[in-house]
Amino acid sequence: MSSTDVAGRDVAESGREGLGSRARSVVRREAAQPGNWVLCAAMLVATLVGAQTSRFFSVDNGKAILVSTGTIGIAALGVTLIMVCGGLVSLAVGETAAVAGMVFLFSLDLGLVAALVAAMAVAAAATALQGAMVGAWQANPIILTIAVASILTAVGARLTSKAAVQPASDAYETLNRTPWGVPVVVFALLGLTVAVQALMTATKVGRYMYAVGENRAAARAAGLPIASTVIVAFAVAGALMAVSGAFSASTSHTITLLGASQLTFNATAAVLAGGTAIFGGFGSAVRTLFGALLIATVTDLLLLRGADLGMQILVKGLLVLLVVLLGHLRTSRVGA
């Protein structure tokens, strides 16, 4: 409810006072988000800690952060779509990306583009079905994706016979290139961020996503096509998870289901840290871009300072908890 109120006031103000005040009110609105302050503070702390950490400010480390921002961020863009339209979180992000990555590696002999398309199609089909269940039937998305994770784990184990997957050709090396010294995945992330942002704000179905996530009953009463909106959001999300899976398969030249949950945790934490509302109706691709950068930086810092995997997971879990609590306090104060 809060964001429509704010948006409505924006329109009124900009009509009266012109574009300058509109820009100011956008700034004011963004400044009123405690999530933004948390994000800025976390970035600042990360940079300060980075200054104390040897090897943090180096070209190689910068590149490493960017690569992991890329794989986390692309999957997180998908999670953003799911979250904005009211689908909460998916607990099968890592599994979807891993199985799609397997499809990608298997079909590489058809060429890079065909393999990417195949992986995206498989993942999008799987998530579109989930979208149909969430959109048309209001199935519980968390328990649904727990089931999907189990099914995909089985499918993945079947596909690979639990051995490391061998790429069908080395066409994937294109994805590992670094034109002008910047990894391809970074360009992919930036391009996809712009594309998803455009989808969410400049198209009809994108604006429906916000409406459905904001208030499903109202969207229904208004006659919006809820089911197809949610299906589109989930399908695009699946395709994005597949792209993320293809990139991580290329970086490590293989892919396994081991540690698939890491991507799930990272992507969820990135979207929430960016400030997208967990119950939907508010959020953006650009927010997620910054969230992914933060998560990748924090992971890198913890690694450089000798923190092990357990500490990394712990920090991300606490971050998710903190953001959820802050988001709740904000909305309940506005509501009161």
Partner 1 sequence: MNGRLQVLRRSTSLLPLLALTVTVVAFACLPAYAGRPLETYDLFNLFEAFAHIGLITLGFGLLLTAGEFDLSIVGIFALSGVIAVKLGQDHPLLGVLAALSVCLAFGALQGLLIAVLRIASMPVTVGTYIALLGLTRVVGDNQTSVTFDNLDTTLWIQEPVATIFSPRSLLVLAVFGLAAVLFSATRWGRELRALGGDRKATRTAGVPVNRRLVALFAVSSLLGGVAGALSSFNAGAAITDPGSAPLTLGAAGALIGGVAVAGGRGNVLGIFAGAMSIVILGQIFFVAGVEEFYSDLVFGLVLLLIVAINAPSAKDWAVRLRAARHPPVSTSSSSTGPRPTTRKQRQDARTHAAATAHPPAHPPPSRGGVPGQPDHLPDR
285, with CB counted inside 10 A (0-12, 13-18, 19+), is buried
Based on the shown chain and the rule CB under 8 A, indicate whether residue 150 belongs to the binding site for partner 1: yes
Query: In the bound complex, what is the minimum distance in angstroms from residue 143's beta carbon to partner 1?
Result: 5
Number of residues that bind partner 1 (CB under 8 A): 58
Asked if 55 touches partner 1 (CB under 8 A), the answer is no
Name 16's Cβ contacts closer than 8 Å, sequence gap at least 6.
Answer: none
Measured in whole angstroms, the distance separating CA 166 from the mean position of its chain's CA atoms is 27
- Locate 85 and state its tokens: 């339209």
Per-residue burial over 200-210, b if 16 or more Cβ lie within 10 Å, else e, is beeeebbebbb
Q: Does 308 bind partner 1 (CB under 8 A)?
A: yes
The only residue of 56, 210, 247, 265 in contact with partner 1, by rule CB under 8 A:
265
CB 254 within 8 A of CB 105: yes
Q: How far is the CB of 112 from partner 1 (least distance, A)?
A: 29
Q: CA 325, 143, 232 angle in degrees (round to 5)?
A: 90
Q: Which CB sits closer to partner 1, 227 or 286?
A: 227
The window from 47-55, 64-72, 139-147, 180-188 that contacts partner 1 (CB under 8 A) reads 139-147
Q: Does 282 bind partner 1 (CB under 8 A)?
A: no
Dihedrals φ, ψ of 84, to 5°? Answer: -65, -35
Q: How far apart are CA 78 and CA 70, in angstroms?
A: 13
From the list 136, 164, 198, 334, which residue makes contact with partner 1 (rule: CB under 8 A)? 136
Q: 90-119 mask for partner 1 (x: CB under 8 A)? A: -x----------------------------
Fill in the DSSP letter of residue 175: G
DSSP string for 130-142 = HHHHHHHH---HH
Where do runs of H (alpha helix) occur along 53-165? 59-84, 93-106, 112-137, 141-160
- Between 18 and 317, whose beta carbon lies closer to partner 1? 317
User: Which residue has tokens 């996809």?
Assistant: 192
261 is a contact residue toward partner 1 (CB under 8 A):
yes
- Kindly indicate which of the ranges 8-16, 61-69, 112-120, 216-224 contains the residues binding partner 1, using the contact rule CB under 8 A: 216-224
Q: How far is the CB of 265 from partner 1 (least distance, A)?
A: 5
Q: Per CB under 8 A, does 317 bind partner 1?
A: yes
**Of residues 56-95, those binding partner 1 (CB under 8 A):** 88-89, 91
Indicate whether 151 belongs to the interface with partner 1 (CB under 8 A).
yes
Q: Can you give the binding site for partner 1, defined by CB under 8 A?
A: 88-89, 91, 133, 135-140, 142-144, 146-155, 157-158, 217, 220-221, 223, 225-227, 261, 265, 268-269, 278-279, 308-322, 324-325, 328-329, 332
